[in-house]
Amino acid sequence: MNLTNLAGFGPGTNIIFTYGGVLSGSLAVGNQPAGYRCTVLTDVAKQVRLAVAVSASPRFNNVQLSANGLLFGGNGGTANGSYYVLTSTNAALPVNAWKRAQTNQFDTLGAFIFTNAINPTVPQNFYRLQLP
């Protein structure tokens, strides 16, 4: 299913169609409007729905040293959405070479916070967020 941003398109959940009997097959989102993330939902009986969210651009806005390590915080994520914390000792490596350190969830406002232990044997470490 390819989507276009026409009048009335925006964040929310809309019924695409209702059905009787048993749902079979699958429906996937192909092209979607820039700035949006769309998902087909089949969790309500007899309905196929489309969930539309504004694409998130999470940003770090706080880094503090704590007794437990480095405390990172930020905002701009999708409410209750997942994110991964990636680490690397070399910022120039491609993303697929970074190590996944944590899997976390944004809060209801799209904010995040996580703590990463400091390893004294590693002279430097870089961090980035990855969205699923």
Domain positions in the chain are 12-54, 59-130
User: What is the C-alpha separation between 46 and 61, in angstroms, rounded?
Assistant: 43
Residue 19, SS3 per DSSP: coil
Residue showing tokens 């699923």: 132
The three-class DSSP label of residue 96 is: helix
The whole-angstrom separation of Cα 63 and Cα 71 is 6
Mean pLDDT, range 78-85, rounded to an integer: 84
* pLDDT tens readout for residues 46-75: 999 998 887 767 888 999 998 888 899 998
46: left (phi over 0), alpha (psi -120 to 50) or beta: left
Q: Which of 27, 48, 38, 28 is nearest to 4 (CA)?
A: 38
pLDDT, tens digit, 9 for 90 and up, residues 6-47: 888 888 899 999 999 998 888 888 888 877 888 899 989 999
Cβ 102 vs Cβ 112: under 8 Å: no
What count of residues does the chain have? 132
Q: Can you say how many angstroms the Cα of residue 34 is from the centroid of all Cα atoms in its chain?
A: 16
